[in-house]
Amino acid sequence: MKALVYHGPGQQSWEEKSKPVIKEPTDVIVKINKTTICGTDLHIMKGDVPTVTDGRTLGHEGVGIVDETGNGVLNFKKGDHVLISCITSCGKCEYCRKGMYSHCVNGGWILGNIIDGTQAEYVRIPHADNSLYHIPAGSDEEALVMLSDILPTGFECGVLNGKVEPGSSVAIIGSGPIGLAALLTAQFYSPAQIIMIDMDENRLHFAQEFGATEIININKDDAVKKVMSLTNNTGVDTAIEAVGVPSSFELCESVVAPGGCIANIGVHGRSVDLHLETLWSRNITITTRLVDTVTTPMLFKTVLSNKLNASKLITHRFKLNDILHAYKTFGNAAKEKALKVILEAE
């Protein structure tokens, strides 16, 4: 089969690789129909995720058809149409029993990280009964790809951890796919203000279309002054970091109101200054999280019922064997006006 293989920072290729095989009775082999590229994959390509080693097939999102099952799989059979979760969970360990699937001792975020992932023609899914979802006939596959990662990530790590409430004020730093997923799902709770902050005018335009009440281009405005002017000089109740660079986290520290919450989503490859000299007395909560996908079943229902239009996050479509072009497009999002890309197998 063909797969997108990582060979160190800045090095990747679309190459021949052995088709995955069943290793454990709870494994399933899925033939990929559609997959995508995540901002985390770009962090991997920068060398920000040292657990990803030379020879790894990247990708942790997708939908497909079950090609083969281990004899311990109970809920899926050959030919089933499935959604792949970015998080693999055994459902039995101490962390899984707490709903912290991201810290499963036999799983977690392993796809495209410590085992081969979904940017390939076939992928092996461990603990399939707990890590796949049945897709009803006639569903929009492209929209459901957004449920593999970005929608539960934006919702759990940003909205839920950030304690977004009716009438509250929210600033989301980063108007990329994850930030926009947080924007879409924050609206479940009817905050009074959702301020999107970015340097990409096109992505800010999307944010306004998706429900942002205000937008701030940090190349044109002093973001801190602008947020303060929009919030009666108090700051926001929730500041969501959705980029993964020091400057965006420090911006969250500068705009959060007393008693507020900073919810980190971004993948950070470098250390960030924590300004306790200004935050120590302000009753600030800082949260971090790797998505657990505990909300995927609920989000699945909202997408299927068209209460959440996930497909509008998709701007570009490619054939799977054109994935190197897709990476260039996604990596040059401002120039290409790209949000999420869909990669479709032949």
φ, ψ (nearest 5 deg) of residue 335: -65, -40
**Does one domain contain both 9 and 76?**
yes
Q: Which of 272, 287, 302 represents a domain boundary (last residue)?
A: 287
**Does one domain contain both 70 and 206?**
no
Q: pLDDT class for 77, splitting at 50, 70, 90? A: very high
Q: pLDDT class for 346, splitting at 50, 70, 90? A: confident
C-alpha gyration radius of the chain = 20
**Does one domain contain both 14 and 126?**
yes
**Average of per-residue pLDDT values in the chain:** 97
Residue whose token pair is 């980063």: 174
**Does one domain contain both 167 and 267?**
yes
**Does one domain contain both 93 and 195?**
no
Residue range 234-248: mean pLDDT, rounded: 97
**Does one domain contain both 78 and 170?**
no
Residue range 44-72: mean pLDDT, rounded: 97
Q: What local confidence, expressed as pLDDT, does residue 331 receive?
A: 94
**Does one domain contain both 137 and 72?**
yes
Q: Which of 287, 320, 336 represents a domain boundary (last residue)?
A: 287
Q: Which domain holds residue 254?
A: 152-287
Count: domains in the chain: 2
φ, ψ (nearest 5 deg) of residue 161: -65, -30
**Does one domain contain both 239 and 115?**
no
**Does one domain contain both 260 and 204?**
yes
Q: What local confidence, expressed as pLDDT, does residue 7 receive?
A: 97
pTM over 0.75: yes
- pLDDT tens column, 147-160: 999 999 999 999 99
**Which range is least confidently modeled, 86-90, 165-169, 267-271?**
267-271
Residues in the chain: 346
- The yes-or-no verdict on residue 239 having pLDDT over 90 is yes
**Does one domain contain both 41 and 75?**
yes
